[in-house]
Chain A
Amino acid sequence: WLPALQLVRHGSKAVTRHWKAMHFQRQKLMAVTEYLAPRPAIPPRCLVPRKEKVEEDNGYARLLRRQVEEVFRDNRMIAVCQYNSMPGEDMVLMRHYLRKHNIEVKFVLNEIIRPMLSQSKYKNLLPLFVARNILLVSPETKVKEMLRVLKGVPQINLLGACIDNTILSRQGVENFAKLPSLEAAQGQTVGALALLPSQTSSLLQGGSAHLTALLDEHIRQLQAGEMGSPDESAPAQSLGAH
């Protein structure tokens, strides 16, 4: 099929290096057949934005969560401290001293521990886990030694502790440290309890003991007063009184 009218009389060929000028009719045709984008009835920005999808947690987060749960389950004393960056050697030394008292230093991530705490019974520990912090955990409660070590390290500040499922503030921890040890406390309790029966026995024997003491004193006075005349009736009387 060939066009009826040969429009190319002189001038360029179909394919040129420059942009060949289009016939006006062709220009009109190109303008008419342009692409028109669809316009939705409601513009997309008026629609409510979709909520962000919550990312599924990876195995690493789950592992960390499990570890934290174990920590909370196994240890009696958990102390939360603020952690400022400190030199590596000091850190190692501190860990060493704490290890001697069987206290472990654990680093936890706030974004893992916060949802866990909010669901468990340790809700009141939530405000402590805000900035950089560490956990000092131990199955025994050696608060005095821990405080002594922490006093030597200025970069770690105690914020609070959970000892035997009791949440204590910093003051509470210091008071807890001042308490005597368990054996001493037990001995004190026993002593306090045994105080009453001992008092009872002394009370019961008090009257007769007092009388005996008075009579002994009297005898001594009489013996001292009547040295020349040996009076056998008075000692016999005193012996008979017993």
Chain B
Amino acid sequence: RPRSESPFCPPGPGGVIVPRAGLKKYVLPPDYSGITFPERTKLKFMDKVPAVPKVRREPRRLRDIRGPSREATDFTQGQYGILALGGGYLHWGHFEMIRLTIGRSMDPKTMFAIWRVPAPSKPVTRKSLGHRMGGGKGPIDHYVTAVKSGRLVVEVGGHCEFEEVKPFLTQVARKLPFPAIPISRDGLEQMRQEEEEKRLNNQNPWTFERIVTANMLGMRKYLSPYDLQLKGRYWGKFFLKHRL
């Protein structure tokens, strides 16, 4: 097993370096002891329409896209997942894409995947094409699930490494309607730690939170009451990662 030049044999006359074989350092294989597989390793099929379709048309309620997510922010069973970095709606097409791509790329014997978002339940109405405004609310067109930033969409786990899972998770993440990244448990922890460190070692004495809570310069005239909780990191459905 020739390796590159070692400190023992400096280049000889003419700059020729004699390759030498070195001692192989054996790395222990990764330990998958604490991993429990669910009953079905593949992703469940999600219905287009819930079992009891809704009759009453619901208001739009875009606040289910705005701001940080309160549920499904941490890993439960799996080790890797797709983290949403923005808000959006996932409809049946997205679900099928995720299910098929992950089902195609993973090995059901050694890996498993689970949903962290519920099936579409929020009805979205569409008016038929070509009609003028007015005439009431349109009929229900399809159902969607709302996803806020910081939520996990799917979780993947099993006897596998992040590097094996990353390619198809990035492929899926690119196709989602909101920005998303594949992430592992360590990666998430590291992200949070970095955020915390940034918050602590910020050299700027003026932070959005401080100005808004104290209403300095009457800034609250131009801001929303929700900015007290959103603290300048969220704007609409977008999550501003570089802020703070």
Contacts and interface: CB of A to CB of B under 8 A. Distances in A.
Given A15-B62, A61-B23, 4 more contacts: A3-B220, A14-B224, A26-B219, A33-B232
A33 B207 contact: yes
B6 interface: yes
Interface string A1-37: 1111101000001111101101101100110111111
B211 interface: yes
A222 B63 CA distance: 156
A13 to B, nearest CB: 6
A3 B22 CA distance: 72
A20 B236 contact: yes
Contacts of A7: 222
Contact of B204 (A25, A35, A109): A35
Contacts of A13: 62
A131 interface: yes
A15 B206 contact: no
Nearest to B237: A15
Interface string A24-64: 01100110111111110000000000000000001011001
B97 interface: no
A38 B203 contact: yes
Interface in B18-32: 18, 20-23, 25-26
Interface string B171-215: 000000000000000000000000000100111101110010000
B87 interface: yes
B8 A130 contact: yes
Interface SS of chain A: loop
Nearest to A17: B237
Contacts of A37: 201, 203
A2 to B, nearest CB: 7
B242 interface: yes
Task: Identify which of B9, B226, B235 gathers the most chain A CB atoms within 10 Å of its CB.
Answer: B235
A14 B65 CA distance: 11
B243 interface: yes
B75 to A, nearest CB: 27
B66 interface: yes
B242 A25 contact: no
Contacts of A131: 9, 18, 20
Interface in B29-76: 62-63, 65-66
A36 B203 contact: yes
Nearest to B202: A35
B109 interface: no
Interface stretch (A88-96, A110-118, A155-163): A110-118
A109 B22 contact: yes
A123 interface: no
B9 A130 contact: yes
A36 B202 contact: yes
Contacts, number: 97
B18 to A, nearest CB: 5
Given A33-B208, A35-B198, A110-B8, A25 B219 contact: yes
A4 B87 CA distance: 29
Contacts of B235: 19-20, 22
A29 B87 contact: no
B6 A1 contact: no
B168 interface: no
B238 interface: yes
B221 A5 contact: yes
Task: Identify which of A33, A38, A64, A131 gathers the most chain B CB atoms within 10 Å of its CB.
Answer: A33
A15 B23 contact: no
Contacts of B242: 35
B21 to A, nearest CB: 7
Contacts of A19: 235-236, 238
Interface string B228-244: 00001001111000111
A152 B30 CA distance: 49
A30 B225 contact: no
B100 interface: no
B57 to A, nearest CB: 18
Nearest to A34: B204
B21 A60 contact: no
Contacts of B8: 110-111, 114, 130
A106 interface: no
A109 B25 CA distance: 13
A132 interface: yes
B222 A15 contact: no
A25 to B, nearest CB: 4
B203 A111 contact: no
